[in-house]
Amino acid sequence: MKRFFFAAFGSLLMLTAPAAAAPRTSVTITLTSHRYTPSPIYLAGGVPVRLILQNRGGKDHDFSAAKFFRSSRLVAGRAPSGEVRLGPGQSAIIDLIPVRGSYKVHCGEFGHKLLGMSTMIIVL
Ligand SMILES: [Cu+2]
C-alpha cells in the first residue's frame, strides 16, 4: 500500500513538474573589472540554488572556486576544474546544492586577483 502511494505520488510529481525543474532560489553574480557582485556571496547549505554568472565587463573573467564546486552537488551546468570562464557579455547557469562552509573565489585571468577580483562564498 505504502509502495503504491509513493508510486502514485511519484507519477503525479512527474505530471506537474517539468523534467528538469529549476531550483526555487537563484542568485545572480556579476563579474566586472575587477570585482564580483555581491561580495561576499551568501548561500543556504543543503538548499538547491541556481547560480547565474554574468560577465558584464569588457574583458574575459572567470569564477574559480575549486573547493566550492568540489564539495557541492552539481545538478546542472558545468564548472570544469572548478572554474567557469566567461567572455565579455557571456553568462552561465549552474544549478547545485552547496555544503555549509566558506570558500574562496578568485578570477584566474592574469593580474585580476591582484586588482581585487576575489571574494568568498559563505554557505550557512
Ligand atoms: Cu577577471
Q: Is the pTM of this model over 0.75?
A: yes
Centroid of ligand 1 to alpha carbon of 72 (angstroms): 23
Cα of 51 from ligand 1 centre, angstroms = 18
Alpha carbon distance 20, 75 (integer Å)? 9
pLDDT along the chain (124 residues), means of 10: 49 50 94 98 98 98 98 97 98 98 98 98 98
Q: Which pLDDT does position 22 carry in this prediction?
A: 87
Domains and CATH numbers, the chain: 21-123 (2.60.40.420)
The residues pairing with 49 across neighbouring beta strands, listed in sequence order, are 25, 96
pLDDT at residue 11 in the model: 47
Backbone angles phi, psi at 6, to 5 degrees: -65, -35
Q: Which residue has the cell 564548472?
A: 79
Q: Rounded to the nearest whole angstrom, what is the distance from the C-alpha of residue 50 to the centroid of ligand 1? A: 22
